[in-house]
Amino acid sequence: MNNNTTVERHEFMLKIVDLSIGCLANVAYYRSGRQNGHKLFRGEPYSQFNANCFFLVHLEWCKLFGNENQEKHHWCKLVSDKEKFKTGLLCVLDYDDDTYTKFQNKILKVRNKLVAHQDKYEKIYSANFDQVITSVSYLINYIYANEMDGIPIKDRYNPAEAYEKYYRWGETFWNGSTPEDDPENKLKLRTVKI
């Protein structure tokens, strides 16, 4: 593998990890705005924010796990041992191939029919977001354990810790606090001149 190929693979891995973390963040933000299956607040901007997070979960998950022939960032375009990855994925989800395909098709249907094309549907049911978290977390951990091949990564994400952080930030939003109120966020906020 020449140096350009190594750099491209490294950048591709980082993009997949970023998409994965974005998916986890949107599940956390979506869930932090709900209680017992219902939105904490109705009306704008709360309903739109909650819906946007719901939509982004589906979009980002499909980029990573959707149709392998159509998705630019599908896991199979990165993972060296596809059989090992798929076997492990099915194991952590506690799915067989048929159950996984139904799960995948449910998310694809929401993305294709509701998010992307706004087709008219009587009712569309989303997949279980616990399984979204599990599959995305597995992908991140698998990349770190099996695909890094000596590539140094300064900041490795722990998916569970990332989810908890984003959930806490979502709660901060929903309870009316500002990002400045979160001590972890104070260090990251900066003024941007436009």
**Are 75 and 19 spatial neighbours (Cβ–Cβ below 8 Å)?**
no
Cβ–Cβ contacts within 10 Å for residue 38, how many? 8
Secondary structure (3-state) at 39: strand
Transcribe 20-35 into DSSP letters: HHHHHHHHHHHHHTEE
Mean pLDDT of 78-87: 95
Q: To which residue do tokens 């000596």 refer?
A: 150
* 88 has pLDDT over 50: yes
Mean pLDDT of the chain: 82
The per-residue b/e assignment along 83-105, b for 16 or more CB within 10 angstroms, e otherwise, is eebeebbeeebebeeeebeebbe
When comparing pLDDT for 129 and 119, which is higher? 129
When comparing pLDDT for 180 and 76, which is higher? 76
C-alpha 156/C-alpha 138 separation (Å) is: 14
Any idea which of 24-28, 49-53, 111-115, 139-143 has the lowest mean pLDDT?
Answer: 111-115
- pTM for this model (two decimals): 0.82
pLDDT value for 64: 95
Cβ–Cβ contacts within 10 Å for residue 50, how many? 22
Per-domain residue ranges for the chain?
3-186
